Amino acid sequence: MSFLVFIVCPILFAAALAFTQLDLTSREHLHFVGLDNFREALKDPYFIQATKVTCVYAIMIVPAFVVLSFGLALGLQAMTFGRNAVRGLIFLPGMFNVVVASIIWRWFYDGEFGFFNYLLKRVGIMPIHWLGEKTLALPSIVVMSLWWGLGGATIILLAALQQIPTHLYEAAMIDGATSRRLLTNITIPQMRHVLLFIVVTSTIGAFQVFGQTFMMTNGGPDRSTTGLVQLIYDTAFNKYRLGYAAALSWLLFAMILVVIIVQALLLRRSID
């Protein structure tokens, strides 16, 4: 019942909204505008900019996310004692609210009182405005998001590593395989489905980035960290252009779908 009201209805409603003009600030009533919202989006420099930011963010974070979580899982697997404690600590940041995580890191990055600049000052380097520079802000947010999000993927990958039958390794070692060959010829092929899962889910997450940018830079400086969700939020709840924002949400959904389908096809082909 609540599923019908809050899932099915909103989807149909969102679909309808995307084709209407609904501005809470203007006196004009809701009316049908056909594809106008979509046409406007394709010409909207803010939309194009936000799409670029989102894609750049995804391109920066997804490979780092997959490689690091895989590396952490391999490291944990190799541990002889204390594995569970370290695993618990790596996952701990994931418990933190995006607000709290952002506050901690904004303090770290602060141009005057920040922890990183404190360290830089110690070694005699001029302080850097991490979040204030157009080129540094987005990478800084990537680093924070990695700290925040790696734990979950690491746990999943570690569990998958532990599922690989040990006789595969034993047989290969008898045949004189190096540890590098063990990794490329046994571990990675055995893990391909889980790795694909991590790639796809982290991509979906990257396209939906919002809390961090909202909290740490509010999209700035100069819109260099305004991703698509931030743009949708601003359009809907600061400019009150709900119809247009609904159209933008559909475009975001379409982009995510296209990207993950392409990823799945490419990776499927290369691993099978």
Partner 1 sequence: MLAVAVVFLSPAVLMVFTAFKSPDEVLNPSSAIPHHWTLENFARTLKYSEEAPFAQWLLNSMLISTSVTFLVLFVSSLTAFAIARLKIKGSGKILAVIVASMMIPGQLFLIPVYLMLGWFHWLDTPLALIVPATAGGFGVFMLTQFMRSIPPSLEEAALIDGCSLWGVYSQICLPLCTPALATLGIFTFIGSWNDFLGPLVFMDSVRNYTLPVGIALYQSSYFTEYGKTLATSVLGTAPLVIVYCIFQKRIISSMATTGLKD
Of 76 and 137, the one with the shorter C-beta distance to partner 1 is 76
Nearer to partner 1 among residue 41 and residue 252 (C-beta): 252
Q: 3-class SS at 269?
A: helix
Asked if 271 interacts with partner 1 (CB under 8 A), we say: no
**Which residue is it, tokens 């006196």?**
27
Q: Which residues pair with 32 in a beta bridge?
A: 20
Angstrom distances, CA of residue 24 to CA of 35, 38, 236, 257 = 20, 19, 9, 30
- Among positions 57-76, residues that touch partner 1 (CB under 8 A) are 72, 75-76
Q: Which is nearer to partner 1, 90 or 138 (CB)?
A: 90
Nearer to partner 1, 8 or 258 (CB): 8
* Subset of 165-184 contacting partner 1 (CB under 8 A): none
Question: In the bound complex, what is the minimum distance in angstroms from residue 102's beta carbon to partner 1?
Answer: 8
Q: Which residue has tokens 């391999």?
A: 74
Decide if residue 209 touches partner 1 (CB under 8 A): no
DSSP state of 76: H
Cα–Cα distance for residue pair 212/65, rounded to 1 Å? 16
If one asks whether residue 199 binds partner 1 (CB under 8 A), the answer comes out as no
Options 49-57, 153-161, 166-174, 178-186: segment touching partner 1 (CB under 8 A): 153-161
Instruction: Name residues contacting partner 1, limited to 115-144 (CB under 8 A).
Output: 115, 118
Q: Which of 134, 113, 120, 3 is nearest to 56 (CA)?
A: 134
Q: Under a CB-based contact definition with an 8 Å cutoff, are residues 181 and 171 in contact?
A: no
Question: Which position among 138, 206, 215, 259 is part of the footprint of partner 1 (CB under 8 A)?
Answer: 215
Q: Under the criterion CB under 8 A, does residue 33 sit at the interface with partner 1?
A: no
**What DSSP string runs through 4-51?**
IIIIIHHHHHHHHHTTEE-BSSSSPPPEE-TTHHHHHHHH-HHHHHHH
What's the rounded Cα separation, in Å, for the pair 80 and 83? Answer: 7
Cα end-to-end distance, the chain, whole Å? 42
Told to check if 35 binds partner 1 by CB under 8 A, we report: no
| Site track 221-260 with partner 1 (rule: CB under 8 A), x = hit | --------x--xx--xx----x--xx--xx-xx--x----
Task: Output the smallest distance, CB 226 to partner 1, in A.
Answer: 14
157 binds partner 1 per the rule CB under 8 A = yes
Which of 61, 141, 151, 187 lies at the binding interface for partner 1 (CB under 8 A)? 151
Question: Nearest distance from residue 22's CB to partner 1, in Å?
Answer: 8
